[in-house]
Amino acid sequence: MSLPRQRPDATPFEFDNSFGRLPGAFYTRLRPTPLPDPYLVAFNPAAAELIGLDPAYCATREFVEVFSGNRVPQGADPLAAIYAGHQFGTFVPQLGDGRAILLGEVRAPDRRRWDLQLKGAGRTPYSRMGDGRAVLRSSIREFLCSEAMHGLGIPTTRALAVTGSDAPVVRETVESAAVLTRMAPSHVRFGSFEVFFHRGQEDELRTLADYVLREHFPELLSAEKPYVSLLSEIVYRTAELVAHWQAVGFCHGVMNTDNMSVLGLTIDYGPFGFLDGFDWNHVCNHSDDGGRYAYNMQPKVAHWNLYCLGQALLPLMEMEEAEAALQRYEPAFDTAYAMQMRAKLGLQTAEDGDAKLLERLLGLMHSSRTDFTIFFRSLALFDSAPGADNRGLRDQFTEREAFDAWALEYKARLAREGSVDAARRDRMDLANPVYVLRNWMAEEAIAKARDGRDYSMIAELQQLLSDPYTEQPGMQRYSGLPPGWAGAISVSCSS
Ligand code: AMP
Ligand code: MG
């Protein structure tokens, strides 16, 4: 099907490139490398609406040309940003957008600015040994997962579109190239500060901090110590973010400091995974031999990463001030996590014993490898009537007597707050999703896209995952246990 052509001078974007107005030390200006014969793989109308893109424009050939990097729209100011980062605990003094190009910042109808970033748009001065490309597989995974996270109510970069090409890209096997367009108010990372700290470039460090404050935390400018407040706010947002991840069983996979957003967004989706059977020590990234980024490590790793950020900001504040800000992490995480997990358990009040109650449940789930999403969703059906056997829940455990003992405690706990089953059910359904993006779902959508250029499952999942707390008719296959073959899926850093 040939698409209508847009008038060549028509541009539906109003660019206002604040990052590009920073001094040259922060980036390299360059144009995306064209993607041969691009075609549209996925499009997200919700993201388009956010930036006020006309749906008619999104159906044009020009849209595909722009979001494959083949045509730079008027007013854009494409660049690749520099950053550094601690990768698996080791400091790497220079990273940067090695394959992502910030096309520019567009003004949304509400006047807010959004970065439009093309991921996979070719080599940049920060590409090191890489080819500057992204493969279709990982682009579809990021597209689906960022929208799934948004549907779950978790802060994240968004995804506008995926364009594909038959151009070959070599990874473990030969795959095909794709460009993912992602959007965020900013893509500044912890590593964006680290690069200047380690080079001793204090002026640049300060300029970047001032920029982030001015553009993204203007309410902190009037604080007594804006830089300290900035660090505190990032600490707080990161704690909240990771509490969210834990509560939905999301494992990021590569929590390097260059993959940590200063806005507290989930960013840089790679070998991520949602828990199927509950395992405290689950490692979703096949390349993470030491389990550094295992599920139960995420809260601690985030804190460690914040220390890296705090260190990078030391030229802007006293050591004691940074320490005090960083020490706010644990209480902030504990509070956020406790709140989220109480909601998952349907509890409305807080009791001292709640953490123990939860710990015991998770311990049982761990030894039974009880499915995390299915169990919590079904816990809403817990029947607290005398004599109820709650078989449907009990059967999800291998140690059934141990579950019975836990259920008695849970029942007593509910009774103490005068919980009413029907009302609790409704509350719990808002805290426990029916659907998450399990690896097998993404794999199946990818296989269809790759083998038959059939993008229908991507669209179906996108729709489904935009409303994950509501059971949707005809979608039972996505709310059950993963199929047997799912256990063999292995995802690694290669993308
Ligand atoms: P990641 O772990 O995917 O967040 O990437 C770590 C660093 O490697 C970042 O600086 C990326 O820009 C860079 N990188 C990853 N893949 C490629 C690639 N195919 N080509 C160029 N740079 C890449
Ligand atoms: Mg990254």
258 among known catalytic residues: yes
Q: Report the separation in Å between the CA atom of 127 and the middle of ligand 1, taken as the mean of its atom positions.
A: 7
Q: How far is CA 142 from CA 149, 160, 256, in A?
A: 10, 11, 17
436: closest CA among 264, 296, 273?
273
Dist CA 320 CA 310 (whole Å):
11
Q: Report the separation in Å between the CA atom of 452 and the middle of ligand 2, taken as the mean of its atom positions.
A: 30
312: closest CA among 215, 199, 188?
199
CB atoms near residue 373 (< 10 Å) = 22
pLDDT per residue, tens digit, the chain (495 aa), is: 455 554 444 578 999 999 999 999 999 999 999 999 999 999 999 999 999 999 899 999 999 999 999 999 999 999 999 999 999 999 999 999 999 999 999 999 999 999 999 999 999 999 999 999 999 999 999 999 999 999 999 999 999 999 999 999 999 999 999 999 999 999 999 999 999 999 999 999 999 999 999 999 999 999 999 999 999 999 999 999 999 999 999 999 999 999 999 999 999 999 999 999 999 999 999 999 999 999 999 999 999 999 999 999 999 999 999 999 999 999 999 999 999 999 999 999 999 999 999 999 999 999 999 999 999 999 999 999 999 999 999 999 999 999 999 999 999 999 999 999 999 999 999 999 999 999 999 999 999 999 999 999 999 999 999 999 999 999 999 999 999 999 889 898 888
Task: Using DSSP, state whether 161 is helix, strand or coil.
Answer: strand
- For residues 320 and 201, the answer to whether their CB atoms sit within 8 Å is no
| From 9, 37, 203, 258, the catalytic residue | 258
What is the number of the ligand closest to the CA of 87?
1
**Helices and strands in the chain, H and E counts:** 17, 12
Task: Using DSSP, state whether 477 is helix, strand or coil.
Answer: helix
Query: Between helices 226-248 and 298-312, what is the axis angle to 10°?
Result: 160
Report whether residue 133 contacts ligand 1, using a CB cutoff of 6 Å: yes
Rounded (to 5) percent helix, strand, coil in the chain: 45, 15, 40
Report whether residue 122 contacts ligand 1, using a CB cutoff of 6 Å: no
Dist CA 361 CA 364 (whole Å):
5
- For residues 345 and 378, the answer to whether their CB atoms sit within 8 Å is no
Report whether residue 439 contacts ligand 1, using a CB cutoff of 6 Å: no
Q: Report the separation in Å between the CA atom of 51 and the middle of ligand 1, taken as the mean of its atom positions.
A: 27
